[in-house]
Chains A and B, each alone.
Chain A
Amino acid sequence: MPEQIMTQVISPDLNFVKDIIASGGESLKKCYQCSTCTVVCNVTPDDKPFPRKEMMYAQWGMKDKLVSNPDIWLCHQCSDCTAYCPRGAKPGEVIGAVRKLAIQHYSPTPLAKMVGDPKYLLMLFAIPVLLFLAYIVPKGYLDFSAIPRGEDGGIVYSKFVPVFPEIDVTFGAAAFFAAVCFVLGIKRYWTDMSAGVKVQGNLMDSIKATIIDIITHKKFEKCNVTKDRKTSHLLVFYSFVGLAITTTLAIVYLYGFKYESPYPLYDPLKIIGNISALALLYGITLVTGNRLKNAEKAGKGSYFDWLFITVVAVVAVTGMGAQLFRLADIAILAYPTYFTHLVFVFFLFAYAPFSKMAHMVYRTTAMVFARHTNRD
């Protein structure tokens, strides 16, 4: 029996087009559908390849076709398409903007819109700043000399902002909030993606294969113009893994062994933490460097991207700085640095489902889905 082709009703959404343009896809309208992008793309599957068709959907404001589309996440923004695009339509940047809008779309809170919009930047920072000020101002800790010292007279940050309940409850709540938002978002995303698609095989196998893909960064190897991204992204990725281990250890130390910080530098926790922090610092520097180096070919990146990079960079720098100033006993630098560190870490975690950080969840999900549907 011949397959019946369904007639699709298209209703262009001009506002979505404008949103993409405002989100870093300003070159979107230049695309004239030659498909150079698709041909030079090394990560797309051959059948129904991307990103040419995504560019078309984007031009016509076909939001439904885009936000739930796993292909926008299979794109790793190698920017080969952008470099070779004959019209300067920068498909890599456009798809990046679409991803941002997809994150917003699946976010259960309006926070997502705010994260993507520089207008709200101050407000977003104001939340952790006020929160942490609320912890320290009543204690008169704005005067650093009023902050109690450790037994050896050194700076102890837990005496500045106590681990419990202030830090752990705050971050615990933030993490919980983020996790809930992620779960809600991903659930809707998965439902949308699977609508009308035949799912086959074992989901666990797909997850396993995807994890291997991620930990080996295989996809990044296929990039051409931005070859060096593999190293930098890998560094950042593994430093996050390292920092996650560090945090887990810290929880075990504190609540398992009642062992309180500061820990000596030779402590395994410290070693893992510091190596990860250095890797992050180096990684994020590489990320920044590569982006600047490739800006001409690959595009300059959006606010959304740069906000995330900046936050990660500040987290790394302030984390390292806080430790160094503490050891050097320079109170006037140590406390503000630590304070900044807390604010940025909060920003990173609490807003993870709405910032570029969310890509790790959405992309992973999309990759699993793609495997699961034999798309990839």
Chain B
Amino acid sequence: MEKKFGVYICKGCSIGESVNIDNLIKSTARAAKMQPEAVRVHDVLCSPAGLEMIKNDVKEGTNAIVIGACSPRVKFEEFDLPGAITERVNLREFVAWSQDPNTDATQSIAEDYMKMGIIKVQKGDLPEPNILPDLSKTIVVVGGGVSGLTSALEAAEAGYEVVLVEKQAELGGWAAKLYKQTPREYPYEKLEEPAVFAKIKEVEAHPNIKVYKSAVIEKTEGQPGLFDVTIRTNGTGETIKAGAFIMAAGWQPYDASKLGHLGYGNPNVITNVQMEEIAKTGKITRPSDGKEAKRVAFIQCAGSRDPEHLPYCSSFCCATSLKQAKYVREKNGDAVAMIFYKDIRTPGQTEIFYKNMQNDPGVLLTKADVTGISDAGNGNMFVEAENTLLGEKIKVEADLVVLATGIVPATRAPQEYLDGLTEAGKKGDDARKAYIESTPKPEFILNLDYRQGPEIPSLEGAYGFADSNFICFQYETRRTGIYSAGCVRQPMTMADASDDAAGAALKAIQCVEHVAQGIAVHPRAWDMTFPDPLMIKCTSCKRCTEECPFGAIDEDEKGTPFYRINRCRRCGTCMGACPERIVSFKDFSVDIVGSMIRGIEVSEDEFRIVVLACENDAYPALDSAAIKRNKINPNVRIIPVRCLGSTNLVWVTDAFSKGIDGLILLGCKYGENYQCHFVKGSELANYRFGKVKETLDKLQLESDRCQLIQVAISEYDKLPEIINDFVARVEEIGPNPFKEF
């Protein structure tokens, strides 16, 4: 594209009073290789008159625009100029509002920022979407339980073709095994007939839904919009095209055979799943002798909330036991149901259900730590418990004991197997081989043909749940286009699973729609750019394939990486990883940022620090500090990056060879509770940075000159101080020895 430059400087919001505009014009014009008169200045650029000036220029062909005014976080509508490369230089927040007015330092900050803006526009290009041919919008739903059925129906009702794959011979999952279900709506009084059967009928009759029963996914190849899914049903395989997945593979009850301490093994100690089956038979009878059970004990948290078993709460067992207690009472008015709980957990309006169920003379509850089950003769048992509300240590006779067992996500077994494999792999190929030979391979669910593995990678501390780590963005797993729903994601009740399934269906729809437009999905859902590698220079080092948080890069037979662009979320981690610096986006590349760094004026008598700031959190935090008129150290120059993961180590070289004295990577928190919107970005940057520090030390260039600082968006008050501390440390070390060259 032939670029016609337009450079605009706003004097409003005290910019005009903070810097010498004439000098700023001169230096900017120099950088832009244009006449100073061509640089346009306005008192209030965002005013109608100011905007009209820019828009007229655009009409007349200006298409490469640098606007020196306020932060790009504000006045976004005003400065939205379709068809033009637009760079907003933050003169207001980073200069006028956070620096002392009219000092040489302030002037040079403004000049540096304008120059960097010019460089960015010079080097950048207008993005064009990358739309791949033959895209499918079909949504594959894995699992035919409540979640899967709901997702399938919701997507189909929204007008999308759906393929539902269920492992069992019948649809319905656990919900179809229930005698009755807990009420889902106020006043939460009556147990309801299982609603799943109506849903099954709807799904099976829906013209947009194709159901595969007794079927598993043998292989998933490709990428969003272009998945090739091989479904195996009774020995025959079929490959279909699909656009996105909803992963609703559900759960298994916790293996009760591990609950020997709660009496499992005794025929009259059953699980809550068995209780449903018994209730369906008519009377509540006990397995050992078929006698009607008149004293039924429910033991809550059987396995759940237990560090030895499941370290989480399974969320639905309290309501389920209250419901089953009602079974006992409805079937026999003389029977009692006794519930031993740690805490009754009926959050939200479910509390009203608790109250209703409890208000039955024969439903008895006590907090208790159940210590064991002992024999009471005649097939009866004593439930033994401590710390109860009835006494310190008690024994209660029961003729049937129901263990409220919790849930284990279907993803857990594959995950554990794969984690073991990774661990073994770290010890070498032999260990890996030995692991494969000695460990029984569980059934995989998605069988993704991805370089990074066949399933959705689980989070640290998620116990195999295919959950996202984000509170605000529930469905963002690390596999683009694959959204998990229901109990495979989190322990939840059936009502919650239905809501969840609807949400996941929406995300799948968004994905196929965005792929069709050639734009990214969350969190850069507007982004048309994409990584465009110069493959000719690729050395097949595979760092990109390993580091991509989303598994977007596979390798061909020769081991050469290639992009599955529709899996990409545009974080630029590959760009940061590549030692050959071959990955570029139209508006963001190693060269663009490197040139911006090199564009910073360096003088011998001043310290100069570069801050590479994550644009999601660190940049807004800096902005916010400025909005509070907090002073930001005048020695620093801030450059926003998409994610710290995109930080290429060559920028460190660029900075130090240029004579920059220090470098801060300012990004999101990493670790278990990471806040990085691209999951691994700041963690990877830290890892890479560790390596570069070694090199710096070797070069006798103190590694303290580089620091990665994790910062939250709310830490704007601390940020200026953190930066000052760093600058002080660099000043202590002394100027960059390369300065002289």
Contact = CB atoms under 8 A, between A and B. Distances in A.
**A and B touch in their complex, CB below 8 angstroms:** yes
Interface string A1-45: 000011111111010011001000000011011000000000000
Contacts of A29: 358-361, 363
A5 B393 contact: yes
Given A14-B361, A14-B362, A30-B359, A8 B390 contact: yes
A33 B364 CA distance: 12
Contact of B393 (A8, A53, A56): A8
Given A30-B355, A32-B344, A60-B366, A9 B393 contact: no
B434 interface: no
B389 A53 contact: yes
A57 interface: yes
A53 B384 CA distance: 19
A6 B361 contact: no
B338 interface: yes
A48 to B, nearest CB: 12
B394 interface: yes
B347 to A, nearest CB: 14
Interface string A325-365: 00000000000000000000000000000000000000000
A62 interface: yes
Interface string B391-402: 111111100000
B251 to A, nearest CB: 29
B367 interface: yes
Contact of B364 (A9, A12, A21, A53): A12
Contacts of B359: 29-30
Contacts of B396: 9-12
Nearest to B391: A8
A87 interface: yes
B392 A5 contact: yes
A59 interface: yes
Contacts, number: 65
Nearest to B396: A10
Nearest to A9: B395
Interface centre among A10, A32, A61 (most CB of B within 10 A): A10
Contact of A7 (B360, B362, B365, B394): B394
A12 B336 contact: yes
Q: How large is the interface on B (under 10, 10 to 19, 20 to 34, 35 or more residues)?
A: 20 to 34
A87 B390 contact: no
Contacts of A7: 384, 393-395
Q: Please classify how large the interface on chain A is, using the bins under 10, 10 to 19, 20 to 34, 35 or more.
A: 20 to 34
B393 A62 contact: no
A21 B362 CA distance: 12
B104 interface: no
Contacts of A18: 361
B446 to A, nearest CB: 44
Interface in B189-224: none
B334 interface: yes
Given A8-B395, A9-B395, A33-B367, A17 B390 contact: no
B185 to A, nearest CB: 21
A30 B389 CA distance: 16
Contacts of B362: 14, 17
Interface string A62-82: 100000000000000000000
Secondary structure call for the A interface = mixed
Contacts of B360: 29
A56 B390 contact: yes
A57 B365 CA distance: 11
Contacts of B295: 12
Nearest to A17: B361
A45 to B, nearest CB: 19
Contacts of B395: 7-10
A56 B361 contact: no
B507 to A, nearest CB: 39
A97 to B, nearest CB: 13
A59 B390 CA distance: 10
Given A29-B358, A30-B355, A60 B390 contact: yes
A21 B393 contact: no
Interface centre among A14, A62, A87 (most CB of B within 10 A): A14
A173 B310 CA distance: 71
Contacts of B391: 8, 10
Given A29-B358, A30-B358, A32-B358, A60 B397 contact: no
B75 to A, nearest CB: 52
Interface in B371-407: 382, 384, 389-397
B394 A56 contact: no
Interface string B167-188: 0000000000000000000000
Contacts of A56: 366, 389-390
Contacts of A33: 367, 389
A10 B367 CA distance: 14
B188 to A, nearest CB: 15
B393 A57 contact: no
A268 B394 CA distance: 62
Nearest to B333: A14
Nearest to A56: B389
Interface in A199-256: none
A10 B344 contact: no
A331 to B, nearest CB: 54
A53 B390 CA distance: 7
A10 B355 contact: no
Contacts of A87: 355
Nearest to B359: A29
Contact of B338 (A6, A12, A30): A12
28 contacts: A6-B393, A7-B384, A7-B394, A8-B390, A8-B391, A8-B393, A9-B382, A10-B391, A10-B394, A11-B396, A12-B295, A12-B338, A12-B364, A12-B396, A14-B334, A17-B362, A18-B361, A29-B359, A30-B358, A30-B359, A32-B354, A32-B365, A33-B389, A56-B389, A56-B390, A59-B365, A61-B364, A62-B390
Interface of B: 295, 334, 336, 338, 344, 354-355, 358-367, 382, 384, 389-397
Report the 8 A-B pairs with minimum CB-CB distance, sorted nearest first: A7-B393, A17-B361, A8-B391, A29-B359, A5-B392, A10-B396, A56-B389, A9-B395
Interface of A: 5-12, 14, 17-18, 21, 29-30, 32-33, 53, 56-57, 59-62, 87
Given A6-B393, A14-B362, 7 more contacts: A5-B393, A10-B394, A14-B334, A29-B358, A29-B359, A30-B355, A59-B365
